[in-house]
Chain A
Amino acid sequence: MNKYILFLAQFFILFLFWYLLSGKNIVLLLLLGVIISMLITTYQQKLKILDDESLPIAILPRAIIYWIWLYKEILLSSIFVSKLILKFPLNVSPKYFKIKSNQKTAMGFNIYANSITMTPGTISVVTSNAEKEIQIHAISEETKSGLESGVMDEKIKKLMGDKDV
């Protein structure tokens, strides 16, 4: 990503955050917000910590589509785990297993592990980026097989595109 676009995006995000926390349309406050956001963004660029990894706006349009899909998955598996909780003779048979990921980038692997934890019914317990391997605790056979079908892995691969951060 171009560094001027990154600069503008970071400035816009910081200023939006300032405006959210103040919430007042006073010229002095808005001007102070512009000045402080500009100073912080300039300092970040001087420190060279403003790059594609700290501000991944290149994948943002695809990420929004992915978030909608992930939210649908979260709701579906919440309903599944809720049924499991409310069943009267409680019979859970938890599974503990390892899964391989096809992610090429560290960021994709990170998104994958976090998505697994966010979905109710599966928790990523131990992750290893070197071997691209996650140890997972699943609450039942269904959530385990849903994860092993690899749909989420493919979606994240598509989300990352040809980036290698």
Chain B
Amino acid sequence: MGENLSQPFTDSAMSKDEKIQMEQEKRVQITAFAFMIFITILAFIAVASEAIPYGFAVPFILLLAMVQFFLQMFYFMHLKDKDHGWPNAMMVSGIFLSAPTVISLTILLGEVKF
């Protein structure tokens, strides 16, 4: 099996429309990246600045982390695209199991004093 699978191509089979679409997608991705950098800086400022109380900064930076998580997953890792049904199912089940894992470990271990 596998005829010509290891041979390079001279050009791309992409149609003009597909190329335009890809350039748009690229612009969206770069915008998403700029936004991620922005919220990362925001998170660092929220913690470094004396003016913002710690009790407010923690939920705020956790929210920013969730936003960035979804941006990375949906845009950079293409979970938003069609034909990503199974990848979405895998990540949803991963997160579904992760949440109780983090919470129960935190509470169980935190109750014991070392």
**Pair from one complex:** no
Query: Which residues of A line the B interface, CB within 8 A?
Result: none
Query: Which residues of B line the A interface, CB within 8 A?
Result: none
